[in-house]
Each structure stands twice: as C-alpha cells, then as structure tokens.
Amino acid sequence: MPGAAKPFDVALFDGIDAAIVDAGDALERSAQPRLYDRADWLRLTARHVLPDAKPVIARARTADGAAWLFLDDRGNSAEAFARWYTLAFRPVVTGAAGDDARIALARALRGRFARLELKPMLAADADTTQTAFRAAGWIATRSETSGNWIADTDGLDFTRYWQSRPGKLRSTLARRRARAPLDLAICDRFEPEAWDAYEAVYAASWKPDEGAPAFLRALAEQEGAAGTLRLGIGRYEGRPVAAQLWLVENGHATIHKLAYDTHARDISPGTQLSAAMFAHVLDRDRPTLIDYGTGDDAYKADWMDRRRPLYRLELFDPKSPRGLAGAARAGVKALARRFRSNA
C-alpha cells in the first residue's frame, strides 16, 4: 500500500451534525449507495440509538475525494458509531480517496485514543482498514464475531429461486398453506396501520424488547418515502401473526427485522410470510443479492446460499501506555514488546 503522499485536509469533529454539514452532499443518498454510510442513517442512530454518545468523526479530504470514520468516544478508547441495527460498518470513502485517505484518518487519531474497536465489518472492509491503520503505526488485530448470510439472486425469479431451496422447506410451506393460509400484505410505503401490526407481532414474538423502537419507525417512514421499504404483514383469522421489514435499493435487498407470534408457531407464519416476501422482491425488484443481516440462526441456511464472516478490529496506539497494555492483553505480545523496545 502506498504511503499517504497526497496532501490531505484532516479534521476531527465532535458532533454528527458538524461532520455532515462539513461534508456537503457527500454523505447524502445521492452520493452514498449504502444505507449505513449516509447522513440520514447516522442522524437517526444519534437521535434514537446512541443519544448519550459522544461522537468523534475523523475526516480526511483531498481534491480526489474524502473519507470519514464515525466513532463513539469512550474516553481513552472509542468504538464504531454503530450498534445492533448497523449490519456492516466501515470508514466511509468517496471519490478516489481510497487507501491514502484511510491512512490519513488513522494518523489523525494517533494520540487521541489508545484503543479503537470497529465492528461489524465485512472481510474486504476489515482488510483495507486494518492495513491502513498498520501503515499509520497502529497495532491491529482482527477476530471473527458473527456471520452474514446472503443469497446470490442475479437473474433469478422466485420460481427458479424456490426450486433451489431444500425440499423440507418447500414441503413445509405447501402443507401450512393448504391447512392455514395467511392473509398476506406487503407495503411499499409507510402505513401506520401496518406498522401497528408489526409492533403487535413483535410484542407477541420470542424476541426481546426492541432496543430502539422509535428508530425503526423513523427508518420505516424515511425509507417508505424513498421507495425502498418492503413491510410484510401476515394475518390469520384477522390477527397479525407475522411481520418482516425489508429494504431494497441499488440491487441489494436486506432483511432487517422479522418476527412471528409464538402462539401461531404450528402454522409456520414466518415461513409463509418469508416466501411471499421473497416472491415479491425477486419478481418485482430483481435484486442481485439478498442479505439476511447478522447472526448465524440455523434457519437462514435454508433461505440463503452462503455465509460471509463478520469481523471486529481492535486497534492499539503503541505510543500510548494504555494502547500497549491493551495490545498485550489482546494477545499481540510480540508486537507490544517490539514497540516498547523501540520507544
């Protein structure tokens, strides 16, 4: 990787809004194809998920583009400005800024924090970020934390997709549909009644309390206005028993949330609604990839094709005693000893 030879304008911001204003349109939907890299996602996260956080944002900008790293200040350490709703985190890069910009970000954070923790990261993002921080003098370690299941659906309609699913799944759906078919509806715009049904299903499901329900509603309203929302509700005898929240954009469909009423488990409401959602999205939206988010739940393998690992990066500043001690605790003792001897 080349060194940071380009002249970068580097800044640190202590607020999400300040960083977004400084970015102009570079973090808006028109410039950022991925949801988690956008100003509106970051603002919703700050408002509803991390209201007590102390954001620190590093920005490196040149004529070729810019890069940002959004962090949650924890004192001597910082974490990714992300929680359970963020399915993939990374430094945000625009234009041709690339590797040099990531190095500039890493250098800007030397001396500010002894340790950084970034997660969840897909392999390619973890690779480029780890390499950049090492080039900037950080000690960097990586560990796998979870999985991300996806289906490759380029050119597939639902019929072809469904033929490739396990026979047990297909027979289960056929039996349940014959015995207790659900009344299924999929909304492409936000509808308060449908959202009320989603919340009722979630409350009756096996899942724990929603971490930030106001965030999800605001996200559904926002993405409904943008046309990316696919909110599915399954009812049985008039009662909502299954709900799923998908977003579809730029050839990528993501299953963000799903739940079913545990009292209706014997009619497989989740399977019935899932089949309807896949059919709707594959036949109408034609995505090249469907993403089942984070987690290695066993049922995902029936619907998806392959698993991608998700990683955590731990980054330690060797100029900081706390950073060296943290690297040693993380098992990077040889590197920590080398940095101590060179200090």
User: Confidence class of residue 97 from pLDDT cuts 50, 70 and 90?
Assistant: confident
Looking at residue 121, its pLDDT comes to 98
With b for 16 or more beta-carbon neighbours within 10 A and e for fewer, the 226-252 pattern comes to: eebbbbbbbbbeeebbbbbbbbbbeeb
User: Confidence class of residue 1 from pLDDT cuts 50, 70 and 90?
Assistant: very low
Q: Which helix (H) or strand (E) holds 50?
A: none
Distance CA 93, CA 69 (A): 9
Q: Per the domain annotation, does 330 fall within a domain?
A: yes
* Length of the chain, in residues: 343
User: Confidence class of residue 243 from pLDDT cuts 50, 70 and 90?
Assistant: very high
Q: What is the widest separation between alpha-carbon atoms in the chain?
A: 73
Distance CA 259, CA 249 (A): 22
Q: Whole-number mean pLDDT of the chain?
A: 93
125 — phi, psi (to 5°)?
Answer: -70, -40
Q: Per the domain annotation, does 303 fall within a domain?
A: no
Looking at residue 209, its pLDDT comes to 85
* Radius of gyration in angstroms for the set of CA atoms belonging to the chain, rounded to a whole number: 22
Quick check: 179 and 16 in contact, CB under 8 A? no
Distance CA 181, CA 10 (A): 58
Q: Per the domain annotation, does 236 fall within a domain?
A: yes
Measuring CA to CA, which residue among 125, 91, 89 is closest to residue 19? Answer: 91
148-170 confidence digits (pLDDT tens): 999 999 999 999 999 999 999 99
Tokens 């800044």: give the residue. 11
The answer on 169 and 138 residing in a single domain is no
| Total number of domains constituting the chain | 2
* CB-based contacts of 45, cutoff 8 Å, min separation 6: 81, 82, 83, 85, 86, 215
What does the pLDDT average to over 3-14? 79
Q: Is the confidence at residue 119, as pLDDT, over 70?
A: yes
Looking at residue 5, its pLDDT comes to 52
Q: Per the domain annotation, does 3 fall within a domain?
A: no
Quick check: 147 and 309 in contact, CB under 8 A? yes
Question: What CATH number did the domain enclosing 114 receive?
Answer: 3.40.630
Q: Is the confidence at residue 184, as pLDDT, over 50?
A: yes
Q: Which domain holds residue 245?
A: 154-287
Q: Is the confidence at residue 46, as pLDDT, over 90?
A: yes
* CB-based contacts of 113, cutoff 8 Å, min separation 6: 71, 73, 76, 77, 78, 317
Looking at residue 134, its pLDDT comes to 96
User: Confidence class of residue 322 from pLDDT cuts 50, 70 and 90?
Assistant: confident
Give residue 305's Cα distance to chain centre.
19
- Number of C-alpha atoms within 13 angstroms, CB side, residue 74? 12
Handedness of CA 186, 190, 195, 196 (dihedral sign): negative
Looking at residue 334, its pLDDT comes to 45
Q: Which helix (H) or strand (E) holds 16?
A: helix 16-23
Looking at residue 4, its pLDDT comes to 42
The answer on 163 and 72 residing in a single domain is no
The answer on 249 and 123 residing in a single domain is no
Distance CA 144, CA 277 (A): 30
Q: Is the confidence at residue 333, as pLDDT, over 60?
A: no
The answer on 136 and 54 residing in a single domain is yes
The answer on 232 and 165 residing in a single domain is yes
The answer on 135 and 54 residing in a single domain is yes
The answer on 321 and 229 residing in a single domain is no
The answer on 31 and 128 residing in a single domain is yes
Q: What is the pTM of this model?
A: 0.92
The larger pLDDT score, comparing residue 237 to residue 211, is at: 237
What does the pLDDT average to over 189-206? 97
Q: Per the domain annotation, does 296 fall within a domain?
A: no
Q: Per the domain annotation, does 299 fall within a domain?
A: no
Cα→Cα distances 86→51, 215, 232, 235, Å: 15, 12, 21, 29
Question: What CATH number did the domain enclosing 234 receive?
Answer: 3.40.630.30
The answer on 326 and 242 residing in a single domain is no
Q: Is the confidence at residue 2, as pLDDT, over 60?
A: no
Looking at residue 339, its pLDDT comes to 52
Q: Per the domain annotation, does 1 fall within a domain?
A: no
Task: Say if residue 165 is exposed, middle or buried (CB neighbours under 10 Å; 0-12, 13-18, 19+).
Answer: middle
The answer on 95 and 32 residing in a single domain is yes
The answer on 166 and 130 residing in a single domain is no
Q: Is the confidence at residue 123, as pLDDT, over 50?
A: yes
Looking at residue 250, its pLDDT comes to 97
The answer on 101 and 191 residing in a single domain is no
Looking at residue 341, its pLDDT comes to 47
Q: Which of 41-45, 125-129, 294-298 has the lowest mean pLDDT?
A: 294-298
Q: Per the domain annotation, does 69 fall within a domain?
A: yes
